[in-house]
């Protein structure tokens, strides 16, 4: 016998809350929407009309998924997709799950790419440490006159990156599975219009992490030596080499890294380094303009 939708919803919320999930109501709705194959709005509308919209097979699937979520497996690993702006990115074990705060960087990069006059026929965008492709693909999906090169060293992450690129920018994206320094093998010096990056910047054993991040996000996507700044500095150096004069770089960093990132950008010759705040007023990413040659 299947339970009514309202009973299943209440039970799921209660179980997730008891397990210590930070957003039990939102996660319960997401799991129910995923198991029925509709979005939350459609699910709410259907539930008002029919209380028995969850069939026996779907209820069995929901039970498995709720059990996994109770063990603190990330929601997006269970459903297989993570939202980022208007995209639904395929994610899973081995790839960093994009966070909502990174959308702020993507929004600004999109706005600048939309009005940018490229050096060629398209705005050239390079996403360093691309992971699932969230930032670069958000730009390519929104701005039709862009060409994306996404660079990711992890084979596991590249699996998801390829799937996402084939869905959202199949004709205007290229994937390079390599160290970020190898980007120079694919693009000429001073030829790129926009560089974006969400590199690893946490300090292992120092920065506090929730249980889901600790258990499921790949360490190589989280931690960087040099007090979290080594990879950021590499991104700055690579950007200085590949960006055209007047091109822009956007780098996400830790909330304590704004000053150091601006310093690294200034030392490399970038103009107007500035740091943007997230919705909680914390320094979240920095932007700068490549100098004249």
The answer to whether residues 163 and 244 belong to one domain is yes
Distance in angstroms (rounded) separating the CA atoms of residues 227 and 234:
14
Residue 80 forms part of a structural domain: no
The answer to whether residues 10 and 113 belong to one domain is no
| Domain ranges, residue 63 | 5-71
Residue 269 forms part of a structural domain: yes
The answer to whether residues 161 and 227 belong to one domain is yes
The answer to whether residues 150 and 48 belong to one domain is no
Among the candidates 24, 56, 71, a domain finishes at 71
pLDDT tens per residue across span 76-112: 999 999 999 999 999 999 999 999 999 999 999 999 9
Residue 119 forms part of a structural domain: yes
Cα dist. 143→27, 41, 71 in Å? 31, 28, 39
Residue 89 forms part of a structural domain: no
The pLDDT, as a whole number, for residue 200 is 98
The answer to whether residues 128 and 252 belong to one domain is yes
Low-confidence ranges of the chain (pLDDT < 50): 1
Residue 87 forms part of a structural domain: no
Distance in angstroms (rounded) separating the CA atoms of residues 255 and 208:
13
Among the candidates 71, 104, 125, a domain finishes at 71
Distance in angstroms (rounded) separating the CA atoms of residues 164 and 152:
13
The answer to whether residues 64 and 156 belong to one domain is no
The answer to whether residues 53 and 133 belong to one domain is no
Pairing of strands 283-289, 243-252: antiparallel
Q: How many domains does the chain have?
A: 2
pLDDT tens per residue across span 200-218: 999 998 888 888 888 889 9
CA geometry: angle at 233 spanning 228 and 236, to 5°? 140
Residue 76 forms part of a structural domain: no
Distance in angstroms (rounded) separating the CA atoms of residues 201 and 220:
10
DSSP annotation of 202: B
Residue in 49, 51, 41 with CA at minimum distance from that of residue 7: 51
The pLDDT, as a whole number, for residue 132 is 98
Map residue 185 onto helix, strand or coil: helix
Percentages helix, strand, coil for the chain (3-state, rounded to 5) are 45, 20, 35
Owner of token pair 């498995």: 64
The answer to whether residues 137 and 270 belong to one domain is yes
The answer to whether residues 160 and 241 belong to one domain is yes
The pLDDT, as a whole number, for residue 210 is 86
The answer to whether residues 118 and 16 belong to one domain is no
The pLDDT, as a whole number, for residue 2 is 63
The answer to whether residues 27 and 158 belong to one domain is no
Residue in 234, 221, 222 with CA at minimum distance from that of residue 184: 234
Residue 250 forms part of a structural domain: yes
Residue in 170, 176, 177, 125 with CA at minimum distance from that of residue 146: 125
Residue 283 forms part of a structural domain: yes
SS (H, E, C) 56-105: HHHHHHHHHHHHHHHCCCCHHHHHCEEEECCEEEECCCCCCCCCCCHHHH
Query: Are the beta carbons of 168 and 140 closer than 8 angstroms?
Result: yes
Token duo for residue 182: 């190898």
CATH code of the domain in which 234 resides: 3.40.50.150
The answer to whether residues 284 and 215 belong to one domain is yes
């Amino acid at each position: 016998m299947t339970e009514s939708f309202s009973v299943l919803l209440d039970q799921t919320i209660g179980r997730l809350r008891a397990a210590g999930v930070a957003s039990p109501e939102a996660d319960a709705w997401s799991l129910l929407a995923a198991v029925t194959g509709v979005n939350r709005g459609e699910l709410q509308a259907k539930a008002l009309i029919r209380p028995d919209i969850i069939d026996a097979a779907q209820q069995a699937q929901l039970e498995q998924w709720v059990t996994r979520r109770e063990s603190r497996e990330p929601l997006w690993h269970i459903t297989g997709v993570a939202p980022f702006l208007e995209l639904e990115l395929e994610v899973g074990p081995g790839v960093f799950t994009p966070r909502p705060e990174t959308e702020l960087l993507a929004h600004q990069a999109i706005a600048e790419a939309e009005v940018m006059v490229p050096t060629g026929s398209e705005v050239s965008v390079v996403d360093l440490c691309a992971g699932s492709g969230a930032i670069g693909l958000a730009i390519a999906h929104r701005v039709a006159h862009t060409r994306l090169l996404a660079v990711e060293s992890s084979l596991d992450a590249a699996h998801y990156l390829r799937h996402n690129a084939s869905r959202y920018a199949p004709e205007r994206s290229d994937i390079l599975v390599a160290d970020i320094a190898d980007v120079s093998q694919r693009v000429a010096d001073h030829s790129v219009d926009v560089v974006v990056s969400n590199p690893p910047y946490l300090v292992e054993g120092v920065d506090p992490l929730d249980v889901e991040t600790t258990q499921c996000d790949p360490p190589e996507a989280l931690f960087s030596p040099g007090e979290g700044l080594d990879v950021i500095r590499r991104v700055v150096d690579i950007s200085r080499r590949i960006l055209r004069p007047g091109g822009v770089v956007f780098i996400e960093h830790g909330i304590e890294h704004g000053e150091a990132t601006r310093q690294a950008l200034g030392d490399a010759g970038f103009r107007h380094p500035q740091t943007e705040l997230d919705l909680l007023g914390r320094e979240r990413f920095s932007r700068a303009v490549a100098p004249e040659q």
